[in-house]
Chain A
Amino acid sequence: MSVPSAWYLVLAAVLFTMGATGLLIRRNVLIMFMCIELMLNAVNLTFVTFARLLNDIGGQVDVLFVLVVAAAEVVVGLAIIVALFRRRAAATADDIHILKG
């Protein structure tokens, strides 16, 4: 009747991978954050798909919570970034390497 679930799941997997790879490739902190958002969205998609598959509203409830937590996470993360990069312009993730052994 509608698109089989597998397609959605594959789409979600691809999105997740792209997000993960992007996170590792990019150096700009904010773009890295956006890639995290991509991953979270992929997870949301997966949750909704499974909710439909299993005929359980719980999946969608979980998506709600993921959304809220993602928002909170973004808020705090950006606050940290602001605090960190207040002084420097064009700073990248590579500039934070004090823990170098």
Chain B
Amino acid sequence: MNAAYLIVAFPLAGAIILLFGGRKITDPVSGWLATAMAAGSFVATVVVWATLLGRPGSSRSVDKTIFTWMPVGTLHVSFGLQLDPLSILWSLFVTGVGTLITMYSIGYMRGDPSFSRFFFYLNAFIFSMVILVLADNYLFSFLGWEGVGFCSYGLVGFWFDRDSAAVAAKKAFVTNRVGDFGFMVALYLMFAHFGSFNYSVVLAPLAAGHATIATSTATFISVMLVLGAVAKSAQIPLYMWLPDAMEGPTPVSALIHAATMVTAGVYLIARTAPILHFSPDAQWIIASIGAGTCFLAATIACVQDDIKRVLAYSTVSQIGYMFLGEGSGDYQAGIYHTVMHAFFKALLFLAAGSIIHALHDEQNMKRMGNLRKYLPITFPAFMAGMLALAAIPPFDGFWSKDEVLDAAWHKSPVLWALGVAGAGLTAYYMSRQVRLVFWGKSRWETSAADHGAAGDTGRGGHGAASEVGHGSAAPHDAPWTMTVPLVILAVAATFGWLLNAPFGGLDFINKWLAPIFPSTVATPFTVSTDTKWVLGVVATAFSLTGLALGMGLWRKAVNRPALEPAFLAHAWYIDDGIAAAVSGPLARMATRFSFVVDVRWVDGLVNGVARSAAGAGRQLRRVQTGYVRNYALAIGIGTAALLFYVSVRAGS
């Protein structure tokens, strides 16, 4: 069980080495070092998992304390790890996918001047994420929460000399801050109510049915935690940062904004299930947010031109499904979808990265096309991911989405309807994307010529002007460091669903997570098999329709204004609306406030103190007349006063 320390230690060691020695370690050595560290963490996780497997189901929770962080009165907060099915499951796919992506980045980031810094951030990120999921108390987990937020900032703004990247990083961080506010308020409430942050004190008694908690308290805490989750997982109303975060390198998008960081919110909700059990309102909020986001993001994804933006909105949408599943009371469904999504979304992003790399940083789909002839590895991989995402049986997404939709139906047909509509839209926009990228004419040839004439230098990969070397040559697949992860993930996307198939006793994940979600936490419900079949058929029909529409409508066409309304292209003008509200009256108010408060009050106060001190000094100066007689008079007056005092005291 001591391998648990290694899960945390490996990425930490990698991060520290790369932080201080990064400049001396050249590429690709630093990349391989980071990969080795991530792989070490994954292996340690597997070892712990195997150890837990060897135990009977009920005793699969191990608590390991690294050291006591804050022993303050009755509050004891420590750096501790809780190794139970939920945390180990998360750790498995986080470290696993993380290792693959780190390896992929060696090829993707080749030639970048800040090569080592990137891998420092990757290792630091994996470290923080592992802390987040393995912590045994909310406060330590919050430490990891903040850590991933910071690493996300650093990675999104990796190419910080690009204005758009710096702004996007700031936006991501600030939006996450709003969520962190919710998390912190929840922490305070937890402390006030429970007196501790440890899962064993806050959650275990509730889960075991020994204790109860008032609905209002549960709702308050839950809603605040949901606020945090919403920000981290990019749901309504705090999703706007995720599409902008595509400014970061593609591996970042794969790791952080598809597979790991954005699932932190899902993890938090799953972890807090015992409290949520007492607050049906909070569960409704989660489910509604999930369904709404799922639909909204799917509509926006339908009209995006940037290959990564489609995937970003797709992520937002899919996390909506996870929220929907958890809010409907079926945590295992939500988590199953999380794991599946980690596989195929990471795959899609990495494949997109491969495409971008092949086309020398071209990201606009309207300028791609016909790539299936040139990218023999990337194409099938992308297709596998696309089919999984579109929930076409028998690929991954189908099974997990079905579970989620079953739970949604049980919760409310309206939510189910939104989910199904989202599924249809998902299939549509994915097939649109696939058509635009891989079929049709090779629109990139004319673009490449334009770019060649302009002499642009690409990022991440080839560096020099495209004329020399690869420019006029056809796009080709990436080096093996990039294709091997693609293949592995493609296999996972195709066969990963077997981890929790609803038949033949293959529901490993459900069984694995059963101790975490007993009936006292998640009231079990059954949807009758007939209903399940009907729902499944309906959902699949929607998906297939979407697929067919997408494939058909976009076979030849490149621009279909009717299908790409500006309303959707501008993301329902939500972001623009907020920007207008903030930059207009809010900014004016802020300026005025800053003037009144900062310049007049604060500066006035500070300068006023200085001025009054000087003024007092000037006035006091007048006492120093320099005339001895004045001083003598002062002595005399003092004597008179003294005598007065003495005579008064003596007389009384």
Touch between chains A and B, by CB atoms below 8 Å: yes
Binding site for B on A (CB under 8 A): 20, 23-24, 27, 32, 93-94, 96-101
Q: Does A101 lie within 8 Å of B626, measured CB to CB? A: yes
Q: Does A100 lie within 8 Å of B625, measured CB to CB? A: yes
Q: Does B627 lie within 8 Å of A93, measured CB to CB? A: yes
Determine if B59 is an interface residue (Cβ-Cβ < 8 Å).
Answer: no
Binding site for A on B (CB under 8 A): 621-629, 632-633, 636
Q: Does B628 lie within 8 Å of A93, measured CB to CB? A: yes
Q: Does A99 lie within 8 Å of B636, measured CB to CB? A: no
Say which residue of B621, B622, B625, B636 sits within 8 Å of A97 (CB atoms): B625
Say which residue of A24, A98, A100 sits within 8 Å of B632 (CB atoms): A24
Set of chain A residues within 8 Å of B623, measured between Cβ atoms: 101
Q: Which residue of B lies closest to A25 (CB)?
A: B629
Q: Does A24 lie within 8 Å of B627, measured CB to CB? A: no
Nearest 9 Cβ contacts at the A-B interface: A101-B624, A100-B626, A97-B626, A101-B621, A99-B626, A24-B633, A93-B628, A97-B627, A94-B627
Q: Does B626 lie within 8 Å of A98, measured CB to CB? A: yes
The distance in angstroms between the C-alpha atoms of A23 and B635, with both chains bound, is: 12
Q: Which residue of A lies closest to B631 (CB)?
A: A99
Q: Does B624 lie within 8 Å of A99, measured CB to CB? A: yes
Q: How many A-B residue pairs have CB under 8 A?
A: 32
Set of chain A residues within 8 Å of B622, measured between Cβ atoms: 101
Q: Does A96 lie within 8 Å of B636, measured CB to CB? A: no
The distance in angstroms between the C-alpha atoms of A96 and B632, with both chains bound, is: 14
Set of chain A residues within 8 Å of B627, measured between Cβ atoms: 93-94, 97, 100
The distance in angstroms between the C-alpha atoms of A96 and B625, with both chains bound, is: 11
Assuming the contacts A20-B636, A24-B636, asked whether A94 and B629 have C-beta atoms less than 8 A apart, the reply is yes
In the assembled complex, 17 residue pairs joining A and B whose CB atoms fall closer than 8 Å, in A order, are A23-B629, A24-B633, A24-B636, A93-B627, A93-B628, A93-B629, A94-B629, A96-B626, A96-B628, A97-B625, A97-B626, A97-B627, A99-B624, A99-B626, A100-B624, A101-B621, A101-B622
Set of chain B residues within 8 Å of A32, measured between Cβ atoms: 629
Q: Which residue of A lies closest to B628 (CB)?
A: A93
Set of chain B residues within 8 Å of A20, measured between Cβ atoms: 636
Distance in Å: Cβ of A44 to nearest Cβ of chain B? 19
Set of chain B residues within 8 Å of A98, measured between Cβ atoms: 626
Q: Does A27 lie within 8 Å of B626, measured CB to CB? A: no
Set of chain B residues within 8 Å of A94, measured between Cβ atoms: 627, 629
Set of chain B residues within 8 Å of A96, measured between Cβ atoms: 626, 628
Distance in Å: Cβ of B498 to nearest Cβ of chain A? 92
Set of chain A residues within 8 Å of B625, measured between Cβ atoms: 97, 100-101
Q: Which residue of B lies closest to A32 (CB)?
A: B629
Sample of 6 more A-B contacts, CB < 8 Å, known A23-B632, A24-B636, A27-B629: A24-B629, A93-B628, A94-B629, A97-B625, A97-B627, A101-B622
Distance in Å: Cβ of B636 to nearest Cβ of chain A? 6
The distance in angstroms between the C-alpha atoms of A93 and B625, with both chains bound, is: 13
The distance in angstroms between the C-alpha atoms of A97 and B628, with both chains bound, is: 8
The distance in angstroms between the C-alpha atoms of A94 and B628, with both chains bound, is: 7
Q: Which residue of A lies closest to B618 (CB)?
A: A101
Set of chain A residues within 8 Å of B636, measured between Cβ atoms: 20, 24
Of the candidates B624, B627, B636, the one having the most CB atoms from chain A within 10 angstroms of its own CB is B627
Distance in Å: Cβ of B65 to nearest Cβ of chain A? 67
Set of chain B residues within 8 Å of A99, measured between Cβ atoms: 624, 626
Distance in Å: Cβ of A73 to nearest Cβ of chain B? 16
Set of chain B residues within 8 Å of A24, measured between Cβ atoms: 629, 632-633, 636
Distance in Å: Cβ of A38 to nearest Cβ of chain B? 14
The distance in angstroms between the C-alpha atoms of A27 and B636, with both chains bound, is: 16
The distance in angstroms between the C-alpha atoms of A99 and B631, with both chains bound, is: 11
The distance in angstroms between the C-alpha atoms of A98 and B628, with both chains bound, is: 10
The distance in angstroms between the C-alpha atoms of A100 and B624, with both chains bound, is: 6
The distance in angstroms between the C-alpha atoms of A6 and B166, with both chains bound, is: 94
The distance in angstroms between the C-alpha atoms of A24 and B640, with both chains bound, is: 14
The distance in angstroms between the C-alpha atoms of A90 and B625, with both chains bound, is: 21
Distance in Å: Cβ of B631 to nearest Cβ of chain A? 9
The distance in angstroms between the C-alpha atoms of A98 and B625, with both chains bound, is: 9
The distance in angstroms between the C-alpha atoms of A96 and B630, with both chains bound, is: 12
Set of chain A residues within 8 Å of B626, measured between Cβ atoms: 96-101
Q: Which residue of A lies closest to B633 (CB)?
A: A24
The distance in angstroms between the C-alpha atoms of A97 and B625, with both chains bound, is: 7
Set of chain B residues within 8 Å of A23, measured between Cβ atoms: 629, 632
